[in-house]
């Protein structure tokens, strides 16, 4: 995957790491849903972004500490996408 990198864990499979581009995309999506949940009222865009960034950074930190691998991350993402698509 372009721009991604990984660090090795003790099990031999690379631990989950994301590029800055991937992180920013995650933050943008989370900020959008935060704004949507409050009806897109103007004036809170920066607050939405900073709160979303904090949530995403905490989630990524938890994933790193738990030893989640890129493969695990992608498998869950695909499974969730299929659940949304199939209904």
Domain ranges of the chain: 18-86
Give the per-residue pLDDT at 15.
75
Q: What is the mean pLDDT of the chain?
A: 82
Q: What is the pLDDT of residues 4-38, one digit of tens each?
A: 444 444 456 677 788 999 999 999 999 999 999 99
E strands, 1-87, are 7-8, 14-15
**pLDDT at residue number 56:** 92
Instruction: Report the C-alpha gap between 53 and 23 in whole angstroms.
Output: 8
């Amino acid at each position: 995957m372009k721009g991604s990198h990984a660090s090795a864990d003790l099990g031999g499979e690379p631990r989950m790491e994301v590029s800055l581009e991937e992180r920013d995309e995650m933050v943008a999506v989370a900020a959008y849903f935060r704004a949507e949940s409050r009806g897109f009222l103007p004036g809170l865009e920066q607050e939405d972004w900073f709160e979303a960034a904090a949530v995403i950074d905490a989630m990524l930190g938890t994933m790193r500490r738990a030893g989640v691998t890129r493969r695990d991350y992608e498998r869950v993402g695909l499974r969730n996408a299929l659940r949304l698509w199939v209904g």
